[in-house]
A and B are shown apart, each in its own frame.
Chain A
Amino acid sequence: MKTRKLMLGNEAIAQGLAENGCRVATSYPGTPASEILPALADLKNETGVPAHVQWAVNEKVAFEIAYAASITGLRSAVSMKQVGLNVASDPLMSAAYMGTRGGFVIISADDPGPHSSQTEQDSRLMAMMAKIPVLDPDSPAQAKDMTALAYDISETFQIPVMLRPTTRVCHSRQDIQAGPVPLADAKADFKKDPTRWAATPKFRYQLHKQLETKLNDIAEFEKTAPVRLNPEVVSSKAVVTSGVCAAYVREVMQDSGLMEKISLYQVLQPYPLHLRFMEELVQHHEDVLVIEETDPVIEMQLADRHRVKGKLNGVVPGVGELLPERILEIIGGFAGVEVPSVRLPDVPGRRPTLCAGCPHRASFFAIKRAVPKGIYTGDIGCYTLGLNLGAVDTVLCMGAAISQAAGFYHAYKDQPDPPDVVATIGDSTFFHAGIPALVDAVVQNVRFVLVILDNSTTAMTGNQPTPASGIGACGESLTTVDIDAVVRGCGVRFCREADPYQLDALTGLLKEAVSYARENGPAVIISKHPCLIHRRGAARDVVSVPVAVTDACDGCGYCIRHFECPALVLKGDSGRVTIDPMACSQCGVCIHVCPKHALIEQKNN
């Protein structure tokens, strides 16, 4: 047996990109896509392949960098999560018109469920809207194979191609055969052609016509035609599926003996759907069941509706993840056979919470203490969990903490006694989408306080660097951008830094910021302390403050409710809080939290 490697779906995609000669790869981190770029960076460092691999400041910027590389003739790729594709949707729509030269793959990872996202949106619909082909892998192994296919289509038709894995593909591991990574230099060679690369509306009309022609041809491209998985079966019924659902369907149909009874087709390219396939379905089958995640993309393209069952007529749920047990029930119903209906009991698990010792918890506690009646606009990252502490009232999308704060200010400003507005945003998110919103707030003189929760990393998605880190995806050193200078450059005159572990000092500063903002306009506090997870393993240059619980604790639960540190435990009716030594990070912040001063620093004994 050849050596097979255990690879995460995202690592398999990176392997596929490298094996197929990708020379420029960009990304902005987002679960479930975050591991693609680091895996590619590792491959670059291991093999020395001459590729440019970088984290960009946001998805639009990432897209435009990779796309430019493609029009010089290099193979390139950009990766992001589905919500990130929204940010990149502007260049996406235009790039589809202008097309590509070197193969260009857009990887947009969807999150049915959703496990860690604001939406369950289906990137395949974005591909349809942009009019580009999209491939839907069922496993890490197929995701890797599809990168080759994507480059093939992209270069054959000069069109961007989307690869759309979902969480269960990105975050599965499978044993995969790695192939060689070609190391030869590829030459960038941009051929000026303003009618194409800078096309004015008159030419865009021509480009649109060309795009429609390409799509028709792609709908006949042999290599992406749907696959008939059990060609020997003759049946009036057929199941059509794609993505990870295809893996589930295969397994449940095999286990329940339906593989010998019902025709099964796997669609590799949900858009554009192959025309010949649509005809074949109608000719050979009376009854068609379509199973796909999340939206009815394949289903909508099947014109002869009266034989099709799926999401549009409620046979398949249109919301949420399609788990294999649910698929078994649906297929059983479709086949008219009895299948066991099994569901997991609906027992709520533990809700996620900020780590013990997370600096954000201290920041939120200080905010609530300094501005108890404020409106708190929040943003996307670990610190969204400030929700648990009652310190986050809104979460819309990246950067919206600042623009929503402005919206609240404008909505209330003519009322007597308008509420104070405190916005929180992480450092990476600030660079991603906060700066334009802050510029707008300065110009409009929005009277609010912005707390930039600066933990010097992108923690939520696995600690990728930020523009302030001075380090690149492959570990190379980069120039840094200073948050304080950016804030001042945006025109903010009140900008101060504090360490959230110094709870009292931060609380005082927040009060000062609020009174400044009420009179003068935006005030910014950079609440700076490194993320614990990021720091772990590195030399610990921090003082640890071991905490003891004294008899003064009466078990009132205030610290549990308002501070919610997982290391503080109030069990049953023991009457007193205990500190879980496995969880405690010895940050010592809770000492300032207990109103009865029952938590004290433990002097060394």
Chain B
Amino acid sequence: MNTLKQQIIISGVGGQGVLFVTRVMAEAAIAKGLPVFTSETHGMAQRGGTVVSHLKIGTFASPMIRPYQADGMISLKAENIAIHGSYVKPGGWVVVNSEHDVETDLDVTICRIDADGLAQSSGQARSANLIVLGFALARISRQAADAGHRFFCDVEDIRSVLEAQLSRKKPMLDASVRAIETGYNQGINKEGVCDGLYTV
């Protein structure tokens, strides 16, 4: 089981909750007994600037992912595919929060969800990040299964992490779980738009 190795880029701008998403996924890995390494951005860049974090699950020596080595990328801003998309290996996946289709020359599968729109219409402006994560979990696990391996965690794992982390903040926990489910259901219901290989 411990031969599993996965590398994921999470990208966005300051204030979108890139670090929170990374943290939740990393905690899910630990809960499954997997070694984990992340590298995150603090300081200046967080003031609305570009923020990226690297998430490495499995036995690695270093916290950083090299270009064209990541299995996939969660992009909370469409414009960040141009900036960080090259971390993803050919044939990898990108899940992006975007209102419109995204153009790219990269050899990746792009799955798009308008999480900002969904967040706003459900009155939870700040939960777009978790909606994207929920959607990604639905999509990536499907793609991983098609490629014959397993994604390191599923939506239930994330739910238990949130429960453990936010146990003392009930309203926040409820809102977060709702956001994850909103995104997940979009992924399952095929309503989110998926480019390339997995066009629905």
Stretch with Cβ within 8 A of A (4 or more), from B38-46, B141-149, B176-184: B38-46
Flag whether B82 is at the interface (Cβ < 8 A).
yes
Partner of A171, one of B23, B29, B40: B40
Q: How many residues of B contact A (CB 8 A)?
A: 46
A171-B39, A250-B61, A352-B44 known; A347+B83 contact, CB < 8 A? yes
**Dominant secondary structure at the B interface:** mixed
Partner of B62, one of A4, A247, A352, A460: A247
Residues of A within 8 A of B84 (CB): 344
Count class of interface residues, chain A:
35 or more
Query: Is there an interface contact between B64 and A324, defined as CB atoms closer than 8 Å?
Result: yes
Closest to B26 in A: A6
Flag whether B175 is at the interface (Cβ < 8 A).
no
Query: Is there an interface contact between B27 and A351, defined as CB atoms closer than 8 Å?
Result: no
Flag whether A72 is at the interface (Cβ < 8 A).
no
Cα distance A509–B45 in the bound complex, in angstroms: 33
B59 to nearest A CB, angstroms?
10
Closest to A173 in B: B38
Flag whether B197 is at the interface (Cβ < 8 A).
no
Cα distance A462–B35 in the bound complex, in angstroms: 28
Q: How many residue pairs at the A-B interface have CB separations less than 8 Å?
A: 136
Cα distance A254–B5 in the bound complex, in angstroms: 15
Closest to B13 in A: A350
Flag whether A601 is at the interface (Cβ < 8 A).
no
Cα distance A497–B117 in the bound complex, in angstroms: 42
**Dominant secondary structure at the A interface:** loop
Flag whether B14 is at the interface (Cβ < 8 A).
yes
Query: Is there an interface contact between B125 and A345, defined as CB atoms closer than 8 Å?
Result: no
Flag whether B47 is at the interface (Cβ < 8 A).
yes
Flag whether B198 is at the interface (Cβ < 8 A).
no
Cα distance A115–B86 in the bound complex, in angstroms: 21
A544 to nearest B CB, angstroms?
14
Flag whether A139 is at the interface (Cβ < 8 A).
yes
Flag whether A538 is at the interface (Cβ < 8 A).
no
Partner of A343, one of B26, B49, B67: B67
Partner of B64, one of A248, A349, A354: A248
Contact with B along A335-352 (1 / 0, CB 8 A): 000000011110101111
Cα distance A500–B88 in the bound complex, in angstroms: 45
Closest to A9 in B: B63
Query: Is there an interface contact between A173 and B40, defined as CB atoms closer than 8 Å?
Result: yes
A6-B26, A174-B63 known; A461+B43 contact, CB < 8 A? yes
Residues of A within 8 A of B43 (CB): 31-32, 115-116, 460-461
Q: For window 563-600 of chain A, which residues contact chain B by CB distance below 8 Å?
A: 566, 581-583
Q: For window 66-80 of chain B, which residues contact chain A by CB distance below 8 Å?
A: 66-68, 79-80
Q: Which residues of B contact A (CB under 8 A)?
A: 13-15, 23, 26-27, 29-30, 33, 35-50, 60-64, 66-68, 79-80, 82-84, 86-87, 116, 119-120, 125-126, 128
Ranked 4 nearest A-B pairs via Cβ: A349-B50, A116-B43, A352-B49, A31-B43
